[in-house]
Amino acid sequence: MTKTQKTQNIEFLKGKFSDYDHFYLTDSSSLSVAQITKLRRVCFEKNVEMKVAKNTMIKRALEAVDKGSEGLNDVLKGQTAIFFSEDLKAPAVILSDFRKDEDVERPVLKAALIEDDLYIGDEELANLKKLKSRHELIGEIISLLQSPAKNVLGSLQSGGNKLAGILKSLEERGE
CB 83 within 8 A of CB 43: yes
CB 76 within 8 A of CB 25: yes
pLDDT of residue 157: 66
The strand pairing partners of 122, in sequence order, are none
Greater confidence (66 vs 111) lies with 111
pTM confidence score: 0.80
Q: Which of 1-15, 79-93, 100-114, 149-163 has the lowest mean pLDDT?
A: 149-163
9-24: per-residue pLDDT in tens? 999 999 999 999 999 9
Q: How far apart are CA 64 and CA 57, in angstroms?
A: 11
pLDDT of residue 153: 64
Cα Rg, the chain, nearest whole Å:
25
Q: Hey, what domains does the chain have and what are their CATH numbers?
A: 3-131 (3.30.70.1730), 135-174 (no CATH)
CA 118 to mean position of chain CA atoms: 12
CB 26 within 8 A of CB 108: yes
Total number of residues shown for the chain: 175
The strand pairing partners of 26, in sequence order, are 81, 109
Percentage with pLDDT > 70 across the chain: 89
Q: What average pLDDT does range 26-30 have in this prediction? A: 93
Instruction: Quote the mean pLDDT of the chain.
Output: 89
Give the helix ranges, DSSP H, for the chain. 3-19, 33-45, 55-65, 69-72, 90-102, 125-130, 134-158, 160-174
112-165: per-residue pLDDT in tens? 999 889 999 999 999 999 998 778 888 888 888 887 767 666 666 665 566 667
Asked whether the predicted pLDDT for residue 4 surpasses 80, the reply is yes
